[in-house]
Amino acid sequence: MGENTVTVIHSQLYGELRPEKHQIYQFQQGIVGFSHLNQFALLPYEDSQLFILQAFEEELSLLLLPASMCGNVEGFHIDEEVVTALEIESVEEVIAFYIIRFIDDVPFVNVKAPILIVPNKQKGCQYVLTNDSVSVRERLILAGDEDARS
């Protein structure tokens, strides 16, 4: 890609998106089920704290919630393979997000397979937790609201 190239994604949902260079991420393995999609833009969603992960090659976009806003789990362990695959020195370089979806206006998060982003390497992946006690679809509990769950 030349220095002066402007990247444009044509999205049916949002129209023309022009992500800046630092908003473009390589997903070497794609995301689960979409291994053929390797380039994504990570963009703030309107004026919320959510982000959109929009594929370049196809009309595929996911809504992401920063993991720090999710109170469903306390956190998770990232294994050595992922650290190596993302070419990071420490886990502090990683920002984690959960894919959020709405069913009848109720928010659910996929706690089993978070999206990991490495801003200084512009790499990302969908990480699958080996922990069997977390689910791909859990009703979102916002961080700080843990006591309100009942």
Task: Give contact residues for another protein (rule: CB under 8 A).
Answer: 13, 28-29, 31-34, 45-50, 52, 60-63, 65, 69, 81, 84-85, 99-102, 105-107, 110, 112-113, 126, 128, 136-137
Q: Closest approach of Cβ 4 to another protein, in Å?
A: 31
Number of neighbours of residue 104 by Cβ within 10 angstroms: 4
Complex with another protein: residue 23 or 97, whichever CB lies closer: 97
Instruction: Compute the least distance from the CB of residue 41 to another protein, in Å.
Output: 13
> Tokens in use for 19?
């992500």
Q: Which is nearer to another protein, 3 or 105 (CB)?
A: 105
Residue 138 pairs in a beta bridge with: 109
Cβ–Cβ under 8 Å, residues 140 and 133: no
> Rounded to an integer, what distance in angstroms lies between the CA atom of residue 106 and that of residue 99?
14
Residue tagged 């922990």 (tokens): 131
* Closest distance of CB 20 from another protein, Å: 20
Residue type at 72?
N
- Of 23 and 100, the one with the shorter C-beta distance to another protein is 100
Nearer to another protein, 62 or 67 (CB): 62
Size of the chain, expressed as the number of residues it contains: 150
Min separation Cβ 88 and another protein, Å: 13
